[in-house]
Amino acid sequence: MKISFANLSVPKAGAIIVGVLEGRKLTASAEAVDKATSGAVMRAIKASSFKGSKNHSLTVMTPGGRVQRIVCVGLGKAKDVDALALQNLGGYIVKTLKAHVAVAQVLVDEIDGCDLKAHEMAAEMALGARLGSYSFNKYKTKKNDHSGDKLKEVKLLTKGSAKAKALYEPQDKVADGVFFTRDLVSEPANVLYPESLAAQAKSLAKLGIKVEVLGKAQMKRLGMGALLGVAQGSVNEPKLVVMQYTGKPKRKGSNPSKADAPVAFVGKGVTFDSGGISIKPSAGMEDMKWDMGGAGVVIGLMKALAGRKAKVNAVGVVGLVENMPSGSAQRPGDVVTSMSGQTIEVLNTDAEGRLVLADALHYTKDRFNPHTMIDLATLTGAIMVALGTHYAGLFSNDDELAWDLVNAGREVGERVWTLPLGPEYDKMINSDIADMQNIGDRWGGSITAAQFLKRFVGDTKWVHLDIAGVTWSKSGKPIAPKGGTGFGVRLLDQWVKHKLEKTA
Ligand code: BES
Ligand code: MN
Ligand code: ZN
């Protein structure tokens, strides 16, 4: 779907979308359109129950004229019209019109009591429209299954359209990253396995990202016994993908190794999690195709950063494995030695994500000495018990970093909630025969998982995001249709933009 911008005027044909505020208060454009149709808009509103509330709309069909339909969308109260509300509105417009018209012309006006200028409003709506237009239909072979694909273009008509376009352009690149993540997360596990996921990551090379893929032999040489133990039951060989994006010019004079240290993003990439020998129940097991969601976000984020030419040095590392039961699979009770040298008693083969991340985190810290390390993982079912599906869980060894991410999440509507770490929880994963075991007891499962990861990050500033509850949406939202959400890409892009690029 195409997004375009043009200067504000009342179109003479096609489908027009105008805003109406709570209490049936017409925006300037709605009034202009009403006038041009001899009051048809207001007559229709008065005859209906439409009041201008959020997530409500009224379609006025105009048979005979060249304007086919006028869609009045509710804006709610002026003071509630903020960036997130406008993004949702953009998504809502797409959802409402996608099966009906080819081109949607959205008239955007300044609103009294709203802090944003018209061109800023248009850029936010454009982003929401783009994000809401996502669909994954490559495996549908019948045309009528694509009825939602009728909408080909959303045109935003606004004062200062050139400024709106310039504001939107980098966000369009971020949306490209979000779409890449959604695509990867949506692919079934027979198509997306470690090797094919690594091949997808390699496609980022055309954006100037350096991509390396480590195979099983290299990982063996590095001593990645924790990651390899998870992979050993599958016929699909594990891969470790390393992506490097250098967007910050080298500083002269200052100690180069310190000033140019990258930020690192690390992702859990379990392309299918059957549980292994500690096998999962069959109901819902298909969900475990998206157990590579953390890796998907890291790959999509690298695409977003490179796409919008962010002034940052970033490393992305994803550990890709398939967790399967077989004659060669890891057994409960096995002891493995991680790359860090620490030994792990694997009491439950279904607590595999932390084993993959243990080696990926240690490798990243060891090789790149990043100033900050952020990992993402669909790590525990327990995080859904704690937070449901509206917040991701955040764990960190640095309070300031944690709050910076909480704030970035609020700004983009990908919300995260802090959860505790502490020695009492750390103790729960001590093992009788090894340095640690990979599960705690029944309680605090997301915290003991995070404590486990903490043992592999040393004193690097670190955040762990447990995204198990937010990676896949069963119902869908205006800017994240049901399926893979891409949650995390916009959050981390925003954090990079505000906290790393501003101080550069
Ligand atoms: N990938 C799962 C966690 C998960 C569950 C993600 C549901 C998304 C939806 C993870 O590997 C897992 O199996 N965790 C276990 C840990 C347990 C064995 C300690 C869990 O949460 O049950
Ligand atoms: Mn598991
Ligand atoms: Zn898993």
Task: Spot the catalytic one: 354, 454, 490, 499.
Answer: 354
Indicate whether residue 381 lines ligand 1 (CB < 6 A).
Answer: yes
**Which of 273, 378, 380 best tests ligand 1's pocket when mutated (most atoms within 8 Å of CB)?**
380
Average pLDDT (230-234) is 99
| Helices marked H in 187-215 | 194-202
**Which of 291, 297, 348 best tests ligand 1's pocket when mutated (most atoms within 8 Å of CB)?**
291
pLDDT of 255 over the 90 cut: no
Tokens for 59, please give them.
């379609």
Token pair 């195979």 is found at: 215
**Angstrom distance (rounded) from CA 343 to CA 376:** 23
Q: What is the pLDDT of residue 257?
A: 60
Ligand 1 atom 16: the closest Cα is on which residue?
351
Indicate whether residue 293 lines ligand 1 (CB < 6 A).
Answer: no
**Angstrom distance (rounded) from CA 283 to CA 76:** 41
CA of 292 to the centre of ligand 2 (A): 11
Active site residue 12: no
Active site residue 280: yes
Beta bridge partners of 314: 245, 263
Ligand 1 atom 7: the closest Cα is on which residue?
381
pLDDT of 176 over the 90 cut: yes
CA 403 to chain CA mean position, Å: 19
- Quote the longest CA-to-CA distance of the chain: 83
Ligand nearest to the CA of 269: 3
- Number of helices (H) and strands (E) in the chain: give both, helices first: 16, 20
Averaged pLDDT of the chain: 96
- The SS3 assignment for 354 reads helix
Ligand 1 atom 17: the closest Cα is on which residue?
351
Position 146 confidence tier, pLDDT thresholds 50, 70, 90: low
Lowest mean pLDDT among 144-153, 302-311, 371-380, 479-488: 144-153
pLDDT of 305 over the 90 cut: yes
Average pLDDT (131-159) is 90
Q: What is the pLDDT of residue 502?
A: 83
Position 489 confidence tier, pLDDT thresholds 50, 70, 90: very high
Atom of ligand 1 nearest to the CA of 323: 11
Q: What is the pLDDT of residue 148?
A: 73
Indicate whether residue 486 lines ligand 1 (CB < 6 A).
Answer: no
Measured at the CA of 181, the angle between CA 474 and CA 451, to 5 degrees, comes to 80
**Angstrom distance (rounded) from CA 201 to CA 478:** 28
CA of 268 to the centre of ligand 1 (A): 12
**Angstrom distance (rounded) from CA 68 to CA 62:** 5
Count of CB atoms within 10 A of residue 51's CB? 16
Counting every residue written for the chain, the total comes to 504
Indicate whether residue 438 lines ligand 1 (CB < 6 A).
Answer: no
- The domains found in the chain, sorted by start residue, are 2-161 (3.40.220.10), 172-501 (3.40.630.10)
Q: What is the pLDDT of residue 143?
A: 74
Token pair 């090379």 is found at: 205
Position 161 confidence tier, pLDDT thresholds 50, 70, 90: very high
Position 63 confidence tier, pLDDT thresholds 50, 70, 90: confident
Tokens for 26, please give them.
């017409």
Count of CB atoms within 10 A of residue 210's CB? 12
Statement: the pTM of the whole predicted model exceeds 0.85: yes
Q: Who's near 94: CB < 8 A, 6+ residues apart?
A: 1, 104, 128, 129, 132, 133, 151, 154
